[in-house]
Structure 1
Amino acid sequence: MQNIYTADSTVHQRAPWWFNLAGQLLQPWVRIRRDPAEPAALLQAGVPVCYVIERDGFSDALILQRACREAGLPNPMQPLAGTRRKRSVFALVRRDGWLFGRIRKRAPNEPLRQLVHSLEGMPEHDVQIVPVSIYVGRAPSRDSGWFRVLFSENWVMVGRFRRLLALLLNGRDTVVHFSAPVSLRSVLGESGEIAPERFARKIARVLRTHFQRIRAAVIGPDLSHRRTVVDAVLNAEPVRAAIAASAAKEKISHAKAWRKANKLVLEIAADYSHPVVRSVSFLLSNFWNKLYDGIAMHHFDKARAAAPGYEVVYVPSHRSHADYLLLSYQLHVSGVVVPHIAAGVNLNLPVIGPILRRGGAFFLRRSFKGNALYPVVFNEYLAQLIDRGVPIEYFIEGGRSRTGRLLTPRAGMLVMTIRAFLRAPRRPVLFQPVYIGYEKLMEGKSYAGELSGQPKEKESLLGLLRGLKVLRQRYGHVALNFGEPIELNPLLDAASADWRAATADPDAKPEWLNSVVDRLAGQIQVNINRAADVNPINLLALALLATPKHAMAERDLLAQLELSKTLLEELPYSDRITLTPMNPAGIIAYGEQMGWIRRVQHPLGDVLVADDEQAVLLSYFRNNVLHLTATAAWVACCFLNNRRMSRASVLRLGRIIYPFIQGELFLPWDEDGFGAQLQATIDFFVRRGLLESAGDGRVLERAPGQDDSAFQLKVIARSLIQAFERYYITIAALVKNGPHTMTGAELENACTLTAQRLSLLNELSAPEFFDKALFRGFIQKLRERRVVWTDEAGKLDYDSALEIMVRDARVILSREVRHSILKITPGGEKEPAATNEVGVTIAGSRDTVQPAEDASGTELHQRHVDAEHHRHAHVDAVTADDGSATTPRE
């Protein structure tokens, strides 16, 4: 007992000579990585050790002996002290025969009974059982041959010949996982009076479950046999009831209805294959090397630490077809189980579809309408995956973003996920948002074409082959940033204290379900944006697209890039934002290298230009990070057409406009939080000299228009000005046409046509300016805030607050832009009566003072307070760029 932790030659010589010789022959082919690296720290000194391995095998015994020797652990081939066992190891599964022997899954009752008998009558003795998992070739490395992945570790119990090939091909990627030891004496004491045979069976079951859990964590759940999932779906009570209902409704036989259901579930179900996943992983490593300069993951360790014990649902942003493969590939090579991915049935193409299906993709139709059986089958399939603990991935935006912004969530998959959890809440659900950021998109040109009115090209194998030409280009770096995870249970607790009562009826739809789904969907989008990656192309797009010709002197561009980086560093949006480490000069050089910008040399200083086609594509990357500069852009917008403005007015107008910006950009603050962020941004601008503060900080003033600081403010402002122009188009169209004259669809169409025409006349380079979805989202937000509603005839009516928004727009939008919009917008001929933000009706070229009618007494009172405050301060509240006063002045 004294030498049980030594690994000297006398101990290891107890193994047969031929066993030691085989170990020496195998040694050059096997490289072992222990997990943990120092397993000796797990053991209790002075207590005999008995190892348990999952499968009986000569090679596994050799690997175990070597791992123990290198770690300074007891030799598994020596007799177990205090017992009659000749070896200190046994296996859960045994084989018969030699080279091609038959596998026998026999429980290790005899070894366990021997161990139990050895403790009888000797209460001071104990044995610590150490489960050891051995994996040969869990994941191929980049320099592995494709043939090796066929013999990598999986759930199949292979024969000795196949195991030998696996060792020869993948032995240098061998993992030996030592689990924490289990005191046999303690377990026996907890079991009470129980027969040794029954106790042995109990311990065997516990060990089998343990090994299955470890294997699932390392190589993924055992879903290799799709038939088991398909059968479970078809035998579920909701599906059986739907089959019977379908047979009765369509007046067909039950067998025919069952075949229809079986066909549907086969259309949906993944056919997960570990060898295929490893094969594709190997092929993708070379593909990514040709396509990208690097793939970075940030905050992944936090995501991995949060996942144990949860059903994980990955909810990434969706910007490219590469999203599917990138996330799965990075998770796989990082040692995390590849999720099952919900993919559109349009991707179930010949050749490609079967590969995606074996990689974990399950397919869903774009619409569930017209087939009563389909939604029941799909819901049950998703419920089966969640019930089995399979990680899932889907895109709540419903499709790829064509603009670079996050799209309004579609809640269908979230509803199905929550209802599946409510049906069987065995494991809590964790939603893991992921931001995926690119520096160049393979689909960029097609996105620009679709936004300009071209029809979306249908996915096809021929189209995929034609698209292979994109492989000739380089697409820079890719970032996968893992956002703050969201637990489902706290959301349910907040919605209803007795939500668990809903689990009794699987068909129930609680009244609080919609509110939970909406809140969850919004929080996912917010957390994705809070994990954004700011790359060099994002910063270049923010700067260059703010100029009329998308050109900027090199000196000005350097200064603007430095300002943007400093703003993001000093006023961090969240602790998960990542920012390029490149300095401004490096960013410009990188943009030239990537082909996004070109340099025009000039004796007075070089100019950097984004050509027209590149400028259109760059708008996508500007939109990726618009939310990060939203507060700065709002403050800057207030000084586009005004030299001087009160701090209170900037904050007040910001609170009015914030709900609409928040809905479009998924900003994380409430109104008070946004106000605090505005205050911090104003202070930053004052420190940088972009604004001057007067009147004890109550009044803000910018430099004249030709000053460098005024130019920098204008560049920041123009990143958000198009959003305000869209808002003005919408509310001006409503006010111009009057109440009870337009339906929601008619308004949406009128806004889109107006924006398209304005874009043509002004050569705007951002096709998302007239994206119908953005107008639809703004109109919906107006409905939510009861500024706009539908009357009994289906026409839109509105509150007087809408006219006030038109008046307030004068502070932000220039007279030229407003007149252009009003001239183009279909409807009446005259501009609605408008006032500025402190109640001044504007007539002709000069401003006259006149109190404004206001729907809100509080708002009107605030305006009078502001005006009185400014009169006491003897300063202007707002001064136009031409020097004319636009507010009361003492």
Structure 2
Amino acid sequence: MSPTASSIPVIAVTPGGTTSTERKLIEEWVAGSDEGRGITTVLDAESGLAEELAKYGEALVVPVRVAWLPMVQRDESTSRWAELALMATPRRPASWIQRRLAARDPERQRVLTGTPALLSQLRSRHRRSAGSQAEDPADFARFVRRAATVTLDRAERSFIGDRYKVPHHVAEEIISRAEFRNQLVGIAEDIGISEKEALERASGALDELVAVQSRAAMDAFLTLMEPLHSRTWNVIADESGLDRLRELNKKYALVFLPSHRSYVDSLVLGDVLSRNDFPRNHVMGGANLRIWPLADLARRAGLVFIRRSFGDDAIYKAVVEEYFGYLLSKRFNLEWYFEGGRSRTGKLRPPRFGLLAYVAQAVTRGRVKDVYLVPASITYDRLYEVTAMAAEQEGAKKQAEGLKWLASYARSQRSTSGGNAIVRFGEPISLADRLPASDAPEDEQRIALQKVAFEVAVGINNSTPITANALLTLTLLGVRDQAQTIEQIKQVVAPILDYIERRGLPTTGLDRLRDTLGLQTVLAQLARADVVTAYDGGEETVYTIERGQHLVAAFYRNNAIHWFVTQAILELSILHVSETMPADEPLSALEIIELAWAEANRIRDQLKFEFFFPARRVFVDELRDEMDLLDPEWEGRTPTAESVLGVLTETRVLVAHRVLRSFLDAQLVVSERLALRGNDPLDRKADPDSFTEFIDECEKVGRQMLLQGRLHGPESLSRELFVSALDLMANLGLLVEDPDQGAAAERAARAMSEEAAADDSAGSDPADEGGTDSTHHDLASRREASAAYARDLVRRVRTIEAMDATIRAEVTGVTD
């Protein structure tokens, strides 16, 4: 580094913590290298830097430090324990090791320089960011140290890779930012506390929140946690999508939003990203995972323990917002599980918007130009913890997380053969392209955020493959516990496999199901996991769902159930049209299509708290595609009740009872119990105990209905499904009396009609039963109408089930 012609002094700054060995290596580098020649002095950022900088009116500041290289080159076959033992990951050795390495292995060290900057430029940048603190020499020295650290980290990653990108001095930089301090002053005035107290509370929140990552801690944590997943699953990642993400990450921060089915999701995803040289994500986790004594190590490895509820703590909310803005502005990637918890049913849960709102604020308020959201699907062949989650759906108490729980979980994972864990990434979503301006009305911003969350959920579903286990449990759960031979299962599975191929759906391992030996292998694996039972005491082996394991089987089925929902809805709609066509008044083909599409949209609304549906226009397009698969000649057929019903009876396989029965059964239980309450309110917020008692009631009465044959199977008796059904009832205004319910229902019906017209769909939903029926103004009548519609849907599912049994009997030769 040579001085300029004007002889501006050149000073080197080490970011602090420099050992005597490193100081000697830097001085030798200054004296003996072309790059270091011209540097007049070397300053330590933690030793009198403020006073030293004050001596210069102008100078060229060159960040410098020593980087230590690994003893061995890391490759994919190197275990994490071997990495730690052999120092195969970059880190700073202890002082005594540095002395030995410098003497015996000088190739292990390299003196790095960051991007130099003029002292005047640094002072200008400091004034812009520090505000009232800009005149403080000590604050300026801290700013220079942070700037040096950032540019040196960037230089180091150019040869060790992005895997070890970590932030430094986070809390210090956040608390010194002028805009944030001004925000705290405003909050202090609003809540009646002093500025000093606001700063102290913000500093305390930062200490609680900020993950202070270190390379050694990251490697140690991942090594310690590796046994929880590495021996259980063979992880298969779609690495083709990672190349584009890597390019985007050079300009923008990424926010990974994976599906959440297991405690080890973040470990599996983190391992995939680490092996592909992505920096460690900052993973947002609930405070319930703050397990002693691992919590501190986890924080240093990038886990952010965030409160599940912020309440009215304005300072904590401001700290979280600022922390997110800081991380995103520095292009640190984030990760969290926006369902709010593990899925107990196997399908995606409704998203939570809280943390996503903080990311949106960073974009709309100009902290970052853009952020890309990355939908990610993590699908497991088998999961040990599904059994415990199924028990929770039947009312069992969830075991609290702790050291004892972790030890038990680790033992179970070592003894579990989980098959494959498949990681796939959806299309990245630009947040800037989908958000309104920062001054847009609050409702507009809220709706935009909901649409973004919906798009993420669709991206997760679209990247989720259909597994062999999902397809087999879908098949076996649809035959009312009737045991099936291998050949019978093959005959039922074959048309579904053909359907999947025609649609070009993502799959993994389905080829095995066309082969007898492959099918036997998958069934044997499910039998070892106690999901399927096999009886081989007769002429040939038969298979059925293990007694008491229906919720577990439903979990695996539901992993891929979203791919079949549109066809299931279409089947119920066609049946409805064939049953309601007037005998004395012929309808045109267009009128029949309009009736089918209208009923399909109504069922879509009935299931909107269970599945993620596209806009109505897109949904109708999907219905047309499904209809083409069911009957390519449907548009040219004579529109009679017989020909309409023939679309169903002439197909090779029906799916409505396999796909929708458990959800509609749960809605039936809830709607009937609600109807029996008459006009009595059920207010979750005002009376949470009554709400819980109602769920208990649904569970008990649902079990009676199952024994009486009114419900299809035990998978319908899920507390999570009952809660989703109550969310639907709340959306329909059926939980509490609303004086304006009649007018509200009319407005909702009119809005749906206008939306349908705008989408060129078949028209608005009929209002003769339930839903937004404006003819039933009192609560009791509307509840009974809703129950009537639920009963009709379940009746139709039973009819479809009978049709499918007839088709199956024709194929397999076995009747129910």
TM-score (norm 2): 0.69
Deviation at 1:827, TM superposition (A): 8.2
| Native 8 Å contact 1:735 1:832 kept in 2 | no
| Native 8 Å contact 2:683 2:736 kept in 1 | no
Which residues of structure 1 form unaligned runs of 5+?
Answer: 1-51, 53-90, 116-132, 178-203, 503-507, 810-824, 838-878, 883-890
Check 1:105–1:438 CA distance in 2 against 1; reply closer, same or farther (3 A cut). Answer: farther
User: 2: distance between equivalents of 1:428 and 1:444?
Assistant: 38
User: 2: distance between equivalents of 1:615 and 1:836?
Assistant: 24
Deviation at 1:254, TM superposition (A): 6.4
Deviation at 1:323, TM superposition (A): 0.7
1:313-369 per-residue CA deviation (whole Å, 9 max, x = no partner) reads 101111111011111111001111111100101111112212221221011111111
User: 1: distance between equivalents of 2:804 and 2:224?
Assistant: 62
| Native 8 Å contact 1:313 1:432 kept in 2 | yes
AA matched with 1:557: I
| Native 8 Å contact 1:643 1:880 kept in 2 | no
Sequence identity of aligned pairs in percent?
Answer: 20
AA matched with 1:658: R
In the alignment, structure 1 residue 485 sits paired with structure 2 residue 428: yes
- Spell out the pairing of 1:16-31 with structure 2 (5 A cutoff): none
| Native 8 Å contact 2:568 2:660 kept in 1 | yes
Alignment-derived partner of residue 563 in structure 1: 495
Corresponding residue to 1:804 among 756, 768, 773: 768
- Spell out the pairing of 1:657-736 with structure 2 (5 A cutoff): 657-667=603-613, 669-686=614-631, 694-695=637-638, 699-702=643-646, 712-713=653-654, 715-728=655-668
| Native 8 Å contact 1:317 1:406 kept in 2 | yes
AA matched with 1:483: G
Corresponding residue to 2:705 among 761, 768, 781: 761
Corresponding residue to 1:515 among 447, 450, 457: 447
Report the 3-state secondary structure (helix = DSSP H, G, I; strand = E; otherwise coil) of the residue aligned with 2:512. coil
Corresponding residue to 1:275 among 191, 213, 216: 216
Report the 3-state secondary structure (helix = DSSP H, G, I; strand = E; otherwise coil) of the residue aligned with 1:700. helix
Greater CA deviation, 385-394 or 582-591? 582-591
- Spell out the pairing of 1:532-551 with structure 2 (5 A cutoff): 532-549=464-481, 551=483
User: 1: distance between equivalents of 2:556 and 2:386?
Assistant: 10
1:442-497 per-residue CA deviation (whole Å, 9 max, x = no partner) reads 321221122112222221112222333312121121111101110011112xx34x
Deviation at 1:678, TM superposition (A): 2.4
1:643-684 per-residue CA deviation (whole Å, 9 max, x = no partner) reads 8888634433213222343552113x3323322322332332
Report the 3-state secondary structure (helix = DSSP H, G, I; strand = E; otherwise coil) of the residue aligned with 1:103. helix
Of structures 1 and 2, the larger Rg is shown by 1
| Native 8 Å contact 1:139 1:278 kept in 2 | no
Corresponding residue to 1:394 among 324, 336, 339: 336
1:98-157 per-residue CA deviation (whole Å, 9 max, x = no partner) reads 898353598899847999xxxxxxxxxxxxxxxxx9964675644347364363454759
Report the 3-state secondary structure (helix = DSSP H, G, I; strand = E; otherwise coil) of the residue aligned with 1:314. strand
Check 1:798–1:273 CA distance in 2 against 1; reply closer, same or farther (3 A cut). Answer: same
Report the 3-state secondary structure (helix = DSSP H, G, I; strand = E; otherwise coil) of the residue aligned with 1:270. coil
Q: CA RMSD in A?
A: 5.0
Corresponding residue to 1:469 among 403, 408, 411: 411
1:526-575 per-residue CA deviation (whole Å, 9 max, x = no partner) reads 111111121111011111111211532322211222222221221135xx
Report the 3-state secondary structure (helix = DSSP H, G, I; strand = E; otherwise coil) of the residue aligned with 2:274. helix
| Native 8 Å contact 1:216 1:222 kept in 2 | no
Alignment-derived partner of residue 599 in structure 1: 534
- Spell out the pairing of 1:817-828 with structure 2 (5 A cutoff): none
Check 1:697–1:539 CA distance in 2 against 1; reply closer, same or farther (3 A cut). Answer: farther
- Spell out the pairing of 1:180-199 with structure 2 (5 A cutoff): none
Corresponding residue to 2:557 among 612, 618, 622: 622
Alignment-derived partner of residue 266 in structure 2: 324
Check 1:570–1:241 CA distance in 2 against 1; reply closer, same or farther (3 A cut). Answer: same
AA matched with 2:176: N
Alignment-derived partner of residue 242 in structure 2: 300
Alignment-derived partner of residue 513 in structure 2: 583
Check 1:729–1:748 CA distance in 2 against 1; reply closer, same or farther (3 A cut). Answer: farther
Alignment-derived partner of residue 218 in structure 1: 162
1:809-865 per-residue CA deviation (whole Å, 9 max, x = no partner) reads 9xxxxxxxxxxxxxxx9987999699999xxxxxxxxxxxxxxxxxxxxxxxxxxxx
User: 2: distance between equivalents of 1:110 and 1:555?
Assistant: 77
User: 2: distance between equivalents of 1:424 and 1:550?
Assistant: 60
In the alignment, structure 1 residue 632 sits paired with structure 2 residue 567: yes
Alignment-derived partner of residue 199 in structure 1: none
Give the total of aligned pairs.
667
Alignment-derived partner of residue 103 in structure 1: 26
Corresponding residue to 1:263 among 190, 204, 220: 204
Deviation at 1:620, TM superposition (A): 0.7
Alignment-derived partner of residue 313 in structure 1: 255
Check 1:461–1:593 CA distance in 2 against 1; reply closer, same or farther (3 A cut). Answer: same
User: 1: distance between equivalents of 2:224 and 2:787?
Assistant: 62
| Native 8 Å contact 1:344 1:365 kept in 2 | yes
Deviation at 1:637, TM superposition (A): 3.7
AA matched with 2:175: L
Alignment-derived partner of residue 288 in structure 1: 229
AA matched with 1:436: I
| Native 8 Å contact 2:68 2:92 kept in 1 | no
Report the 3-state secondary structure (helix = DSSP H, G, I; strand = E; otherwise coil) of the residue aligned with 1:655. helix
Greater CA deviation, 543-552 or 676-685? 676-685
1:572-612 per-residue CA deviation (whole Å, 9 max, x = no partner) reads 35xx6656342333244213124232322365653211112
Deviation at 1:245, TM superposition (A): 7.3
- Spell out the pairing of 1:129-144 with structure 2 (5 A cutoff): 136=70, 141-144=76-79
Tell me which of the two structures has the higher relative contact order, counting C-alpha pairs closer than 8 angstroms and 6 or more residues apart.
Answer: 2
User: 2: distance between equivalents of 1:549 and 1:271?
Assistant: 53
| Native 8 Å contact 1:100 1:160 kept in 2 | no
Corresponding residue to 2:724 among 759, 774, 786: 774
Alignment-derived partner of residue 738 in structure 2: 791
In the alignment, structure 1 residue 417 sits paired with structure 2 residue 340: no
Check 1:112–1:357 CA distance in 2 against 1; reply closer, same or farther (3 A cut). Answer: closer
Corresponding residue to 1:356 among 290, 298, 301: 298
Greater CA deviation, 601-610 or 314-323? 601-610
Deviation at 1:627, TM superposition (A): 0.8
| Native 8 Å contact 2:282 2:304 kept in 1 | yes
Report the 3-state secondary structure (helix = DSSP H, G, I; strand = E; otherwise coil) of the residue aligned with 1:403. coil
User: 2: distance between equivalents of 1:704 and 1:517?
Assistant: 40
User: 2: distance between equivalents of 1:206 and 1:603?
Assistant: 71
AA matched with 2:254: V
Greater CA deviation, 460-469 or 383-392? 460-469
User: 1: distance between equivalents of 2:444 and 2:233?
Assistant: 45
| Native 8 Å contact 1:626 1:665 kept in 2 | no
Deviation at 1:170, TM superposition (A): 14
Deviation at 1:381, TM superposition (A): 1.9
Check 1:424–1:568 CA distance in 2 against 1; reply closer, same or farther (3 A cut). Answer: same
Deviation at 1:392, TM superposition (A): 0.6
Check 1:412–1:477 CA distance in 2 against 1; reply closer, same or farther (3 A cut). Answer: same
Check 1:303–1:93 CA distance in 2 against 1; reply closer, same or farther (3 A cut). Answer: same
| Native 8 Å contact 2:395 2:719 kept in 1 | no
Alignment-derived partner of residue 46 in structure 2: none
1:386-420 per-residue CA deviation (whole Å, 9 max, x = no partner) reads 12211110111111111112111111001111112
Check 1:166–1:287 CA distance in 2 against 1; reply closer, same or farther (3 A cut). Answer: farther
| Native 8 Å contact 2:473 2:554 kept in 1 | yes
User: 2: distance between equivalents of 1:650 and 1:100?
Assistant: 79
Report the 3-state secondary structure (helix = DSSP H, G, I; strand = E; otherwise coil) of the residue aligned with 1:771. helix
AA matched with 1:103: I
Check 1:523–1:834 CA distance in 2 against 1; reply closer, same or farther (3 A cut). Answer: closer
Check 1:836–1:380 CA distance in 2 against 1; reply closer, same or farther (3 A cut). Answer: closer
